[in-house]
């Protein structure tokens, strides 16, 4: 039970690394606690609300009671299945804004500016524009990860983009290209009508090589001798075993489980480890800190015409959609239904977008609950760069126990201001002329909710996680006391140990995190192999020339 590299976690970054390391001829063992991704609930894009609520596929974590959200505990789903969260997510594909990665570099992640990461985004993509335009020069066409666009044949989906234009915002053919800011088509990791997870793109091809093996086990801790990682202790079929790494151990177990594993292995804040009787190998106070996420609200409108997906929101309709998808891989089930998007700035003086929209031609919750009163549509909206920070800590020294997850959501006053702006800007968009034939009354928040206090009450009661946790083991310079990994993804203070997943983000990126998480795996693989990184590409992103004086 040994290999050159032992990777903990078959998620977005882990699958990418397994593929690239085994491609280079190294032997790789991937440890994954979850099981197979077979079955229609994962494969069918339209069924996306199911797998994240199934114990089979999800770790089932939730936050501690959140003090600024009235003590609510928020669901924190993380994929427990091959492909990790890329097998249970909404399949939305966003690279992040160029300025996000330039900020990483400024924060000490040398070599991770946009110029540095753009070649990796290109390397990983097989981009299909579906005849909707876009930026071919900025995109990749030969990578393992298929990125596609929905048909956008629902009139509401098109109306949303036109409403943005009527409200004075720019439109963009490709928010993953030169210009993120504006309204336009949304992209998804869907291929030929099926979810195209990191398992489909990277892990399954890697497992066809003799150099890559997948082992189902629960990682307990990293085995460290003389400050060097030697392997991983796992619980497998009821027995404790050690899987040895000849070259390196690589953690890619998520922004929740990677810091937990570091702490169980003696790497973390010394006083916190001592509380749980864990011997300190490396005192790294940043482990588990700097936890970030995106929150979002659903603004829902009733529709005056039967144009939404509500007609399928019954047993017969769902049966029809499921049967059509099983037979043809087409129909509504072949789309995640997030087919139009927008990135806008909340106010003048904000240099690049800090609000994201997902538009959905039905009024329903992300978890598939509480379909609203008949036909409707909704926008998921939320700020991108919350100043609130939380932490992942150990609840106990027992590897089987869930960690404590405290996001500390909405703890900064600016977050409330930004969310109120989100609601008011969305109402203005839905009030545009193009929506007049479709828009009925406002279901949620409801037109009575207008004052700052009333909006704050609505936000406190209704805000939900967008399921983008990250940053809990951040990358920085080796002399930064709060950094956990250096810019080569090496865990500071231990030899032969790396960490590469969304934990290492110094700051959360714009949009959904699956794309940047896979990119981290792609780039980390080159560092692990000792290769020179791909040459930087100095493509200048579009920044609104009037950003200092206007909101749009």
Token pair 């240099």 in the structure block, residue: 351
Domain 1-94+122-136+191-293+469-534: CATH architecture, name and number where available: 3-Layer(bba) Sandwich (3.50)
User: Buried (b) or exposed (e) across 402-429, using 16+ Cβ within 10 A?
Assistant: bbbbbbbbbbeeebbebbbbbbebbbeb
Binding-site annotation: residue ranges for FAD = 81, 89-92
DSSP labels, 505-552: -SSPPSS-SHHHHHHHHHHHHHHHTTPPPPPP--PPPP--TTTTT---
Residue-wise pLDDT tens digits, 375-419: 999 999 999 999 999 999 999 999 999 999 999 999 999 999 999
Place of tokens 């990483």: 104
pTM for the model stands at 0.98
- Percent of the chain having pLDDT more than 70? 99
| Active site (catalytic) residues | 468
Tens-place pLDDT, residues 263-293: 999 999 999 999 999 999 999 999 999 999 9
Domain extents for the chain? 1-94+122-136+191-293+469-534, 151-185+295-383+411-462
What pLDDT was estimated at residue 133?
80
Whole-angstrom distance, CA of residue 510 vs CA of residue 352: 10
pLDDT at 127 (0 to 100) = 98
Between the alpha carbon of residue 448 and those of residues 42, 305, 436, 442, 463, the distances in Å are 39, 24, 20, 10, 18
Check residue 373 and give its pLDDT. 72
Q: What is the pLDDT of residue 354?
A: 98
pLDDT band at residue 364 under the 50/70/90 scheme: confident
Position 132 confidence tier, pLDDT thresholds 50, 70, 90: confident
Task: Specify whether the CB–CB gap between 498 and 490 falls below 8 A.
Answer: yes
Spatial distance between the Cα atoms of 224 and 241, rounded to a whole number of angstroms: 15
Question: In the chain, how long is the greatest CA-to-CA distance?
Answer: 70
Mean pLDDT, the chain, whole residue set? 96
Judged against a pLDDT cut of 70, whether residue 369 lies above it is answered with no
Before 183, cis peptide (omega within 30)? no
Q: Under CATH, which architecture does the 151-185+295-383+411-462 domain have?
A: 2-Layer Sandwich (3.30)
With contact defined as beta carbons under 8 Å apart, do 305 and 139 qualify?
Answer: no
Task: Give me the mean pLDDT over the 335-351 stretch.
Answer: 97
What are residue 438's DSSP bridge partners? none
C-alpha neighbours within 13 Å on the C-beta side of residue 342: 32
């Amino acid at each position: 039970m040994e290999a050159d590299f032992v990777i903990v976690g078959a998620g977005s970054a882990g699958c990418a690394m397994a593929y690239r390391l085994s491609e280079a001829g190294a032997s790789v063992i991937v440890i994954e606690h979850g099981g197979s991704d077979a079955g229609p609930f994962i494969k069918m894009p339209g069924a996306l609300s199911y797998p994240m609520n199934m114990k089979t596929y999800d770790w089932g974590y939730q936050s501690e009671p959140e003090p600024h959200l009235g003590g609510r505990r928020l669901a924190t789903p993380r994929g427990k299945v091959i492909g990790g969260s890329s097998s249970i997510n909404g399949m939305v594909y966003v690279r992040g804004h160029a300025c996000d990665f330039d900020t990483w570099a400024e924060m000490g992640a040398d070599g991770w500016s946009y110029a540095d990461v753009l070649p990796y985004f290109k390397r990983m993509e097989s981009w299909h524009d579906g005849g909707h335009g876009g930026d071919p020069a900025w995109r990749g066409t030969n990578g393992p990860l298929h990125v596609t666009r929905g048909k956008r044949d629902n009139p509401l989906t098109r109306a949303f983009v036109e409403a943005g234009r009527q409200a004075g915002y720019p439109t963009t053919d490709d928010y993953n290209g030169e210009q993120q800011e504006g309204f336009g088509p949304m992209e998804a990791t869907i291929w030929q009508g099926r979810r195209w997870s990191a398992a489909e793109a990277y892990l399954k091809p890697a497992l066809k090589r003799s150099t890559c093996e997948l082992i189902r086990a629960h990682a307990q801790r990293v085995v460290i001798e003389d400050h060097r990682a030697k392997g991983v202790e796992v619980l497998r079929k009821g027995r404790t075993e050690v899987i040895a790494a000849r070259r390196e151990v690589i953690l890619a177990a998520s922004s929740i489980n990677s810091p937990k594993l570091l702490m169980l292995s003696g790497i973390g804040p010394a006083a916190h480890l001592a509380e749980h009787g864990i011997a300190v190998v490396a005192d790294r106070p940043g482990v588990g800190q700097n936890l970030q996420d995106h929150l979002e609200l659903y603004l829902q409108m009733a529709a005056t015409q039967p144009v939404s997906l509500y007609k399928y929101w019954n047993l017969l309709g769902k049966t029809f959609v499921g049967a059509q998808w099983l037979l043809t891989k087409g129909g509504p089930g072949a789309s995640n239904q997030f087919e139009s998007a927008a990135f806008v700035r909340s106010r003048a003086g904000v240099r690049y977008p800090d609000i994201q929209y997902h538009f959905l031609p039905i009024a329903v919750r992300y978890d598939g609950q509480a379909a609203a009163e008949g036909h409707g549509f909704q926008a998921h909206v939320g700020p991108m760069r919350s100043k609130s920070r939380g932490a992942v800590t150990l609840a106990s020294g027992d590897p089987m126990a869930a960690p404590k997850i405290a996001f500390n959501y909405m703890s900064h006053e600016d977050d409330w201001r930004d969310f109120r702006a989100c609601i008011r800007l969305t109402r203005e968009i839905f009030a545009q002329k193009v929506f007049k034939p479709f828009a009925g009354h406002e279901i949620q928040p409801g037109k009575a909710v207008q004052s700052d206090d009333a909006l704050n009450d609505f936000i406190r009661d209704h805000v939900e996680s967008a399921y983008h946790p990250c940053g809990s083991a951040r990358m920085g310079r080796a002399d930064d006391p709060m950094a956990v990994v250096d810019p080569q993804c090496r865990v500071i203070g231990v030899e032969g140990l790396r960490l590469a997943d969304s934990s290492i983000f110094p700051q959360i990126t714009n949009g959904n995190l699956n794309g940047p998480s896979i990119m981290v795996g792609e780039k980390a693989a080159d560092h692990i192999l000792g290769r020179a990184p791909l040459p930087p590409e100095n493509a200048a992103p579009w920044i609104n020339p009037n950003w200092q004086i206007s909101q749009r």
